[in-house]
A = this chain, B = another copy of it.
Amino acid sequence: MKLEDYFKIKDKALTYFEKADIVLTEKEKRNLEVADFGLGKVEETGLQLITYVNTEKVCAKELVLLPGQTCPEHKHPKRSFDNGKEETFRCRYGKVYLYVEGEETKDRGANPPRGDEAYYTAFKEIVLHPGEQYTIYPNTLHWFQAGSEGSVVSEFSTTSTDEEDIFTDPRIKRIPSIE
């Protein structure tokens, strides 16, 4: 991501925190993270986030999704210290469409139409409006997308180790690099 794009997206994200009436410190605003997932189309596939706290036990973040923006399919695998990150998403503003790997994951059907097994996972759709939430347990594939107004989402979780997330799309790099 180019530095000028980072600042442009960051400024957009801050307007959504304002719409959601979420108060941030100046330091938090300065350190707002823009994840472009290395795909070079951040307004389509990307995520903006502020990490409030991330201790050895607990993490809390505030996420912004721009209108229609997608955080792509990934899971939080087993780590040296636990079975993987557990996270609860609580919608604060706008609407978020959450897709979570369902129980019926292994059933590919009699005639799978595509070559990549990962895409046969059965997902359930959960629509979160403000005040609604959903908990995703470790090692469960999920992705989410904002509605047309964008979305602000609080995330309550165990310790976050973003660099260990596993994305389905092998081109994705979770940790952003700024030119």
A-side residues, CB < 8 A to B, are 20-25, 28, 52-53, 55, 57-60, 82, 86, 88, 90, 92, 130-133, 135, 154, 156-158
Contact = CB atoms under 8 A, between A and B. Distances in A.
Contacts of A86: 55, 57-58
Nearest to A59: B156
Given A21-B20, A130-B23, A131-B28, A88 B53 contact: yes
Contacts of A20: 21
A135 B60 contact: no
A107 to B, nearest CB: 28
Nearest to A21: B21
A25 B131 contact: yes
Contacts of A25: 131-132
A101 to B, nearest CB: 18
Contacts of A82: 57
Nearest to A56: B86
Nearest to A87: B58
A88 B58 contact: yes
A58 B158 contact: yes
A78 to B, nearest CB: 14
Contact of A156 (B23, B28, B130, B156): B156
Contact of A157 (B28, B58, B88, B131): B58
